[in-house]
Structure 1
């Protein structure tokens, strides 16, 4: 049974990452936007106060500066006029008898501003103070104009309050949407997991459901099905191999047991016992050869043999193998040095098995040739036997495959060509069966040259 997604599941991790990223972006955006809005609103009030100060300067220059200070459009503005000594000489009604709002004293023609909270007005709002100095009738007058930031602060507070509930709500919405979308996207993975969890050694024929899409999950399903197909094929071959090995080993054991039991029941003469022992030794020799070949197949592993590979002259090695053969009429044609990277004993085994196969099936002739044509070196073994039908040319390289016409007790273990195929494949080469010009079979081994 598939476990429910936990804290470490892809769905949970993706949801947390998406929600965290969105929340971080929203908080940064909220802080930036709030700061920008605050700056713009305060700037607007600063500009308004500066315009008011310039208007008061204009009134002063006309000599019509009222006291208390009031002018068209700004009857209730918070404004003061100071002389060059900093004494308040005029002010709006809401600043009557109040000291100067600020210590700002800019140069003539300049403007300066600051934000204060302790302005002596009826409310406790923050104010932006703009100061400007102008020369009027030979005296330097400084005008201080104050503008309330209550509206700006209220707007920023409202905006920030909206962010305080809006950001968590939007983050939760993104988290929920992400979780649903990820769950939907990973649903095929759950189906694959359930199917694989139920597959046992006896169910390797089953396959995981494959989505109709072409995304990574579909590729995963396809890869899983390919793997299951390979496992099924491997399991089938293994079962067949075990069954064939058991059968092949049972035959010499049964034959030897029968001979010895007959000899035990009817010992006869010493010659009869010696003959029985000789027959039993023949069966044991077959069994020993079979076990040796099985161990050879089990040991063949490219990761282990690669470290033993050295430059080997195939032409010289082939000549050596032929010279120790006992059958007559083995022809050889070489072209000089033909170098490959190989494990010498294993390549010797390849040549021996090929010649053994030719010797078992030939009528009278075997021809061996070594040719070197970069990037390959080819070993060709021909015989003048019955040949191999085209339909059987791949099957002969499978373990325990012996063609029906050759299934006799003295025709080998059925592992020789399988060992050849394994070793040649490990060396990065290939082996094939063709028709021989001698009338029988031609086995061709191609190896990458060095």
Structure 2
């Protein structure tokens, strides 16, 4: 909105100065007398008035009126006699008349010059100068031109604003009608670019939420059918089984199916609540080296069960701090390491590297890897790859959560290698001013790595 206010102020100021300069130029090119001509004309009128007043003083009282009438015809001027008692002049003006000076009186009908007659103290000689013909209509047209030009410039300024507001209203109607892909086109000349960006961001978030909800509903309904059917068949079999031992086996299978359903529902609800939890985030400075060590320590039992080695490779130099949410960044590392533990053959490597303007974290395993055809869809929610390496329940939400959390941190995740050379996930975190290179953790390993965990 600051851009809108500044553009309006600049348009108004430029319009006033531009129109004022143009109208002044037009007014200076008319046929009215120039200031030197006006001064010369005024001096001539004063000289004529002094001359007639001097001659009038030589006339008798009876001849005075006839003399003024003759001078009026001779000079073609509006001369007249005014009785002193008919004018209520303040003392200062009366003193000016008494000193034989010419007294100018301006009014709506023109300007009058009064001159006292020494031989006739009861009378004043008056010279009336009417206003210039056509002066008032010319001022009116100039005034109308000023306001008309100002309105025209304001209309030209309002034209792009009105268009952008119309586009905003039209896009909002399209979005409300169900066209969730409707967006406002970018324009560098828009006065309300911040409002348009906020609308587009809101539309993207709503579209993503709607897509997640539809995907969640379809996937949940699809994935629940199999355990529900198993529960129904198992319950019927347990009711019809007379052998108590066999019935207990059926009941144990039912309990396993219930555990799987509970885990599935909890995973779906956790994914659905991510955006709500994101609204209450409290960001802080995060030491990625310490976070990687904690994630490796948490995965150590799972790696030991599969006889895998965990290796942390980090540079000797201190790494910068990141501005983020430590809990969810820890979850990102934990999800990637747990996936690697499921598919790795012998070793999992967690690598940290400092590159220009970004901090890179790489999680690499030596398993079967991911096929190139699956590389573009593994980060989508509820996508599960068919593998033989893991028997644990999977719902296709781990990498989707990783992708969403990294998007909130303005970070990127990339799958670097494909089958059969193992999987390698590269996380790239931008280094902003909040997490500059001067903010380094206080404690690091001397050699930049921790011992291998078996």
User: Which of the five TM-score ranges fits, normalised by the shorter chain?
Assistant: 0.5 to 0.7
Shift of 1:423: 2.6
1:327-406 alignment to 2 at 5 Å?
A: 327-335=306-314, 340-362=322-344, 364-373=345-354, 376-405=358-387
Q: Does the 8 A contact of 2:308 with 2:341 survive in 1?
A: no
Q: Once the two structures are superposed, what CA deviation does each residue of 1:234-264 show, in whole Å capped at 9, x if it has no partner?
A: 5334322321232223333332332222212
TM-score normalised according to structure 2 size: 0.62
CA–CA separation in structure 1 for the residues paired with 2:247 and 2:216 = 36
Cα deviation, 1:341-368, whole Å, max 9, x if unaligned, reads 5544434432332122123333x22312
SS of the aligned residue for 1:439 comes to: coil
For 1:71-110, list aligned pairs within 5 A: 75-77=70-72, 95=81, 103-104=94-95
**1:294–1:259 distance in 2 versus 1, CA, 3 Å:** same
d(CA) in 2 for partners of 1:394, 1:204: 23
In structure 1, list runs of 5 or more residues that go unmatched. Answer: 1-13, 79-92, 118-123, 134-138
1:218-241 C-alpha deviation (Å, 9 max, x unpaired): 979986788767755653343223
* Long gaps (5+) in structure 2: 1-7, 74-78, 88-92, 440-454
TM-score when normalising by structure 1: 0.62
Matches within 5 A, 1:20-35: none
Does the CA-based 8 Å contact 1:48-1:147 persist in structure 2?
A: no
CA distance 1:44–1:253, change in 2 (3 Å): farther
Q: Secondary structure at the match of 1:422?
A: helix
Aligned position for 2:127: 147
- Contact 1:432–1:444 (Cα < 8 Å) also in 2: yes
- Of the structure 1 ranges 394-403 and 379-388, higher mean CA displacement relative to structure 2 is found in 379-388
Residue 280 of structure 1: aligned partner = 254
Would you say 1:445 and 2:401 are equivalent positions?
Answer: no
Structure 2 counterpart of 1:216: 190
Contact 1:49-1:130 within 8 A present in 2 as well: no
Label 1:277 to 1:356 Cα distance change in 2 as closer, same or farther (>3 A): farther
Distance 1:317 1:95, change over 3 A: closer
Distance 1:418 1:130 in 2: 101
Q: Aligned pairs, how many? A: 383
Tell which deviates more after alignment, 252-261 or 95-104.
95-104
**Cα RMSD (Å):** 5.7
The structure whose Rg is larger is 1
For residue 3 of structure 2, what is the aligned residue in structure 1? none
Distance 2:336 2:267 in 1: 14
Do the aligned residues in 1 keep the contact of 2:384 with 2:396 (CA within 8 Å)? yes
